[in-house]
Amino acid sequence: MLLSVTGASGTGKSTALDALRRVDFGRRVTCVEFDSIGVPEGADASWRHGAVEHWVRFAIDAQARGEHVVLFGQIPPGELLAAPSAERLDGLAICVLHCSPDEQKERLLHRGEPADSIVHHLQFGEWFRRHAADPTYVPEIIRVDSAVPMEWSRWDQLSADDPGWPVSLIDVGPLSRAAIAEHIESWVRESLAKSRRAR
């Protein structure tokens, strides 16, 4: 199974990854970071789509060994579901972290993000949250042509409550770092248990 912990910049993904790597899920769960494969200068949509496909195939290889992958990174749900090999996954769950614009701005400034880039992060953060809650919300933000044959039709007609849109949202604004990690740990365990019951 592939479990994606995602969200816009400043929502706590990297902090949560550090914490989750110390959690004992057993040998069958591996936590990885999207950017760990390296991000080239001038990375474009084709590179992003190719990187998403890389991680989907990584998870497919893991599932063949009876293992699961928790992927941390800024991956909109629609990109993940559209990856060419996504249909070969035996399970997929997506957890989107979000917070208010004020909280996101404070987090970004605290980590040293240039002030002139904040507005773009906030705009993308708002779109990300609304996309997670409604797959039909401004899909052209991510639905762009590239060299990778993405399958956008897998979700472009779905509603938010459709089982084919396996997205959960966690508002991290009022939560401490430890509480965010605890929420994600619980979500991972619940998602794996639900997948086992379904099989």
What is the domain partition of the chain in residue ranges? 2-198
Question: Residue 25 pLDDT more than 90?
Answer: no
Q: Which 3 state secondary structure label does DSSP give 165?
A: coil
Q: How far is the C-alpha of 51 from the C-alpha of 183, rounded, in Å?
A: 27
In the structure, what pLDDT confidence band is assigned to residue 24 with cuts at 50, 70 and 90?
A: confident
How confident is the model over 66-81, as pLDDT tens digits?
999 999 999 999 999 9
**pLDDT tens digits, residue range 126-142?**
999 999 999 999 999 99
Is residue 198 predicted with pLDDT exceeding 80?
no
Tell me the CA end-to-end span of the chain in Å, nearest whole number.
12
Q: Are 25 and 186 in contact (CB under 8 A)?
A: no
Q: Is the pTM of this model over 0.85?
A: yes
pLDDT of residue 199: 67
- Count of C-beta atoms within a 10 Å radius of residue 29: 19
Residue 177 has pLDDT above 90, yes or no: no
Three-class SS state of 129: helix
For domain 2-198, give the CATH number: 3.40.50.300
